[in-house]
A and B are shown apart, each in its own frame.
Chain A
Amino acid sequence: MKIVVPVKSVAVLDDEPEIVGGVAVDPDALDRDLNEWDAFSLEEALLLREAAGEGEVVVVTVGDADADEALLACLAKGADRGLRVWDDALEGADALAVAYVLAAAVEREAPDLVLCGVQSSDAVNGATGVALAGYLDLPRAAVVAGIEHDAASGAVTVRRELEGGLVELVRVGLPALLTVQTGGNEPRYANLRALKQAREKPREQRSLAELGLDAGAVAATTGSRVRALAVPERGAGAEMLGGSADDVARRIVEIVGERVS
C-alpha cells in the first residue's frame, strides 16, 4: 500500500506580532513547527504500513526551505521519502492554491491512500485536504479518527467523529483521501538517532515548472484575498478576581449563586 501524507510546516505567532502594511505579519514574528493534525495523519499512515507489512509512506509539503525541518521530522518518525514543492510565487498561497499544487504532486505518486490532517493550527481552514480530493476527484471521508484497512476488498472502514460525540462508521473503497482528526492515535516521537538518520532518507525538491504547473494558473485558483489583518480588539475582558484561592472561590460561589437558583 502506498500512502501519501501531505503535511504543513505551520507558522507559530509571537505574542506581539508586527503587522506590515495592514495585511501581513512581519516574518520575524513567526516560528515554525509541524502541524499538530499532521502528526496524527502521519501516525495513521505508519500504522497502516506496519499492519500491512509492506508499503511506502511519502510525505509531501508545499513550503519554503524552512519547511524542511517539518519534513525531516516526518522522515525521522518513519516516513520513507519526502517531497517539498516551492516557488516564490507561492508565498501567501491559500488553501485552494496549495491543494492545486498538491494535486499535481500527489497525482504523479498514484497512491492508494492520501491522508491529510483535518486542518492546520495556523490557518484553521479545514479545507486543503478536501479541496485536494476535489481536484483529484477522489472518494473521501472528512474528520476521521480511526482507520481499518481490509486488504481483501481494497477498502477502508473509518470512524467519523460528528458533532456531539456521535460516531459514523463509513466504508470507502481505495484509492481515497481521508482527513484525520487528533486523538485517534498516539503520534510517535523520533529519537535523536532517528533524526540523524532522517537526513539520509530520499528527499526531493521540485519547482512548479518541474511539476508542470504555471504560476499564473496557480494564482488563479486562489479563493480569497486578505484586505485587512489586525490584532482583534479585546472586549472589556474579564473582571479579574484577586486575593487568595479562598477569596476567589468565595466570589465564584456568590456569582454562581446569584445566577443559578
Chain B
Amino acid sequence: MAGILVMAETRRGELRDVTLELIAAGRELKAAAGDRLVVAVAAADPSAFAAALGADGVDEVLAVTTPTEHFEPHVAQQALEALIAAERPALVLLAHSIDSLGFGPAVAARRNLGFASDVTALAWDDGPVAVRGAYGDKLRAELDFPGKDCTLLMLRAGSFPSTTRTGEAAPVRAVDVALEDARSAHVAFREPEGGDVDIAQAKFVLAIGRGVGDDAGKVAEFERLAERWGATLAVSRPLVDAGWVSAARQVGQSGKTVKPAVYVALGISGAVQHLAGMRTADTIIAVNTDPEAPIFGVAHYGAAADLFEVAEALQQQLG
C-alpha cells in the first residue's frame, strides 16, 4: 500500500476546479506517502481530461470509461473500488462535494478503509493525519487511522491551495474496470433561476443572511443597497431555503465559492458551511448583533451592531 490516488471530479464535460486543489494537497504528502501521485478520472470520455490534469507532481492519469454520460454514484463507487484494489494506494483523496458524498462513504464502508470527510488540513505522521471541525466546527479535531492500509479522505473545497496546470498533458493509462449498470438514471439538469448572475466573478460582494429576519420585503431593500453601492448581492443558505432568493446567489458549501476583493456580510453568523465559501476573500467586513458570532473569527473588520441601523446609515452615506 503506497502512493496517493486522487479522484478527479467532472461535470458536464468539464473538470471541476476542486480537482486541482486535491492534486496540490496530494503533492504535499507525496514524498512521505510512497512517492507516487496518480489522478483517476471516471467519465464517458476520460482521456479528454488529460490536458486539464497536466499539473506538477502528477505521475499518471488513470482513465476509466463509464457507460453513463453523467455522474452516477453506483458506477463511481465501483470504479473507485476497482481502482483501489488494482493500485493499492495508501491514501485516496476525494472532494467533499455533493457528487462525491454519493459514493465516497460507501467505498470507505465496503472496503473497511480509514475515513474522514470535510477535511481542512493534512499532515503525515507515520500515516495520514487529517484535521477537521468537531461539534459543528466549534472544536478542531486531529484524526489518525491506526490499523488501516488505505485511508480515504474527502477534502473541503477552498481549504487547500490550488495548483496551476503545466500546459502539458499528463500520461494517460486506460484502466479496464468491469462496471455493473447504473442504478439511477439522469433525467435532466435545471439551471437555477437568475443563473445569469455569477457571484463567483464579483469583485465586491454584499452578502445577507438569516439576520435580515423573516420578511421578504427586507431582501428587496438590501438588493437596492447593493445596487447603489456597486456590489453583487449574495446570500447564505437560509434565505434560499425560504424561497426569497435564487440559489444562484448562495455562497457556501452547497452554493458557490467566492473570492472577491471585498466581502461585506450583514446578519450572517458564519456557519461552517457558509465560511467554506467565502473565507478566502481578500477583505471581509462583518456586521452582526452577536459579538460571539463565528463570522468575526474570519472577518478582518467587524461591528457588533444592529444590521438594519447600519444598513440605513449605509444608504444615507451612499446618498
Interface residues of A (CB under 8 A from B): 11, 13, 15, 17, 19, 25, 94-96, 99-100, 118, 121-135, 139-143, 157, 160-173, 176, 179, 181-183, 220-221, 223-232, 234-235, 237-242, 244-246, 248-253, 255-256, 259-260
**B157 → chain A, closest Cβ, in Å?**
8
Please list 25 pairs of residues, one from A and one from B, whose beta carbons are closer than 8 Å in the complex, sorted by A's number: A17-B139, A122-B135, A127-B101, A127-B117, A129-B105, A133-B106, A134-B106, A142-B73, A143-B98, A161-B98, A161-B247, A165-B249, A167-B190, A172-B183, A221-B109, A224-B115, A238-B296, A240-B291, A241-B303, A249-B314, A252-B264, A252-B301, A256-B229, A259-B282, A260-B261
**A146 → chain B, closest Cβ, in Å?**
11
Contact of A143 among B106, B140, B254, B287 (CB under 8 A): B254
Cβ < 8 Å to A, chain B residues 283-304: 283-287, 291-292, 296-304
B interface residue count range (under 10 / 10 to 19 / 20 to 34 / 35 or more): 35 or more
Check B74 for interface membership: any CB of A closer than 8 A: yes
- Bound form: Cα–Cα A128–B108 in Å: 11
B262 and A229 contact, CB distance less than 8 A: no
B19-27, B141-149, B164-172 - the one binding chain A: B141-149
Q: Which 4 pairs show the lowest CB-CB distances between chains A and B? A: A134-B106, A165-B247, A183-B241, A165-B192
**B149 → chain A, closest Cβ, in Å?**
13
Interface residues of B (CB under 8 A from A): 11, 70, 73-74, 77, 96-99, 101-110, 112-118, 129-130, 133-146, 148, 183-192, 195, 200, 203-204, 229-230, 237, 240-241, 246-250, 254-256, 261-262, 264, 272, 282-287, 291-292, 296-306, 309-310, 312-314, 316-318
- Bound form: Cα–Cα A65–B241 in Å: 33
B229 and A224 contact, CB distance less than 8 A: no
**Secondary structure of the A side of the interface?**
mixed
A135 and B183 contact, CB distance less than 8 A: no
- Bound form: Cα–Cα A167–B129 in Å: 34
- Closest residue on chain B to residue A128 by CB atoms: B105
- Bound form: Cα–Cα A132–B102 in Å: 11
Contact of A245 among B115, B188, B190, B310 (CB under 8 A): B310
Contact of A253 among B203, B302, B314 (CB under 8 A): B314
- Bound form: Cα–Cα A250–B316 in Å: 10
Known: A239-B300, A260-B262. A248 touches B287 (CB 8 A): yes
Contact of A130 among B102, B118, B282 (CB under 8 A): B102
- Bound form: Cα–Cα A246–B254 in Å: 35
B240 and A164 contact, CB distance less than 8 A: no
**A21 → chain B, closest Cβ, in Å?**
14
- Bound form: Cα–Cα A96–B266 in Å: 38
B254 and A255 contact, CB distance less than 8 A: no
CB contacts (< 8 Å) of A121 on chain B: these are 136
CB contacts (< 8 Å) of A140 on chain B: these are 73-74, 102, 106, 183-184
- Chain B CB count within 10 A is highest, among A11, A231, A244, A245, for A245
A168 and B142 contact, CB distance less than 8 A: no
CB contacts (< 8 Å) of A221 on chain B: these are 109, 112
- Closest residue on chain A to residue B110 by CB atoms: A134
